[in-house]
A and B are shown apart, each in its own frame.
Chain A
Amino acid sequence: MYISAGGGSQDGKPAVQRIRTVVVYDVSSGRVVHTHHAVTFAGGTSLSDDQLKARAFELCQKALTRTGRSIPTHLDALHVDPASIAPGVEYRVDPKRRALLAGKPISSFGGRPAGLSKKTRQTKGTKKRKTK
């Protein structure tokens, strides 16, 4: 899950003061069930870390209720650095180390998303160009 923030800071108007991200994950599989971002501007209400985790659980439950599903029992929440999350990549959590792991890229039309290096774009059967 990727978040970008822009705007503000014109003529002394509020700029982004803080961005925080919490992922709610299944402790048995490490699958990220819900991702919550909190963006706070100057003068805005900022939650404590524990409150933010509780908010992530609350929103996860709301989303599941909305879709008619029950909330899984084995869930935990983890604060992650929003800057460490790249766009177009799926993530999961290593439950033992409680660390975010990058997974496969999200492809739009069955191909690889833009922004990957040529090396990672190289397909099977293509030869590398030799350089002297």
Chain B
Amino acid sequence: MTLIATRFADINTNGGDLSHATIDVDFAPMNAMVNISISRFGIGGGGTVEAGILDYRIRNDQGIDVPTSFGDLSNWENQTADALPAAVAHNNLTHITMLVITSNAWTRGMITVFATDFAQNSDQ
């Protein structure tokens, strides 16, 4: 089984206001594990930094991509202490979105996708 890995980084800053960036990653359906991390950050007075998974899509048996979103504030079941998830693993994953938000701060967020196309061996 071959593992492929992808890596993306984004840097984000602002001058006392809010700043945010997103990365969409789209690929053919695969077993995939996604991790979000912040390698370094600096925070001013009252500043905050957040990075996480905003949404992802799974291709079902009918060939339809089914989305799961964590950014919808009305979807309280997906809200855990107001934090976006930092990792997800699923079979037939086709899409992932990372969100990085800073307020009076700067940071560098990284999304790492490990994937293999042996979808039948996946644990959900």
Which A residues are closer than 8 A to B by beta carbons? 1-11, 13-14, 16, 31-46, 55-56, 59-60, 62-67, 69, 87-88, 90, 106, 108-109
Residue of B with least CB distance to A105: B13
Whether the Cβ atoms of A4 and B73 lie closer than 8 Å is: no
Residues of B within 8 A of A88 (CB): 11
A56 CA to B68 CA in the complex, in Å? 18
Residues of B within 8 A of A11 (CB): 2
Whether the Cβ atoms of B71 and A5 lie closer than 8 Å is: no
Whether the Cβ atoms of B99 and A63 lie closer than 8 Å is: yes
- B93 shortest CB reach to chain A, Å: 11
Residues of A within 8 A of B22 (CB): 34-37, 56, 59, 63
Whether the Cβ atoms of A60 and B20 lie closer than 8 Å is: yes
Identify which of A38, A62, A90 contacts B71 (C-beta below 8 A).
A62
Question: What is the size category of the interface that chain B forms with chain A?
Answer: 35 or more
Residues of A within 8 A of B6 (CB): 5-8, 16, 39, 41
Whether the Cβ atoms of B4 and A7 lie closer than 8 Å is: yes
A2 CA to B27 CA in the complex, in Å? 21
Chain A contact residues: over half helix, strand or loop, or mixed? mixed
Question: Does chain A have a CB within 8 A of B9?
Answer: yes
Whether the Cβ atoms of B28 and A3 lie closer than 8 Å is: no
Residues of B within 8 A of A9 (CB): 4
A7 CA to B116 CA in the complex, in Å? 13
Q: Sort A-B residue pairs by CB-CB distance and give the 6 closest, nearest first.
A: A43-B28, A44-B26, A41-B27, A7-B5, A63-B20, A7-B6
Whether the Cβ atoms of A37 and B42 lie closer than 8 Å is: no
- A106 shortest CB reach to chain B, Å: 5
Residue of A with least CB distance to B30: A14
* Interface-central residue, A32, A55, A59, A65, by most chain B CB under 10 Å: A59
Residues of A within 8 A of B113 (CB): 7
Residue of A with least CB distance to B112: A7
Question: Does chain A have a CB within 8 A of B94?
Answer: yes
Residues of A within 8 A of B12 (CB): 1, 35
Whether the Cβ atoms of B11 and A37 lie closer than 8 Å is: no
Residue of A with least CB distance to B110: A4
A45 CA to B94 CA in the complex, in Å? 8
Whether the Cβ atoms of A67 and B103 lie closer than 8 Å is: yes
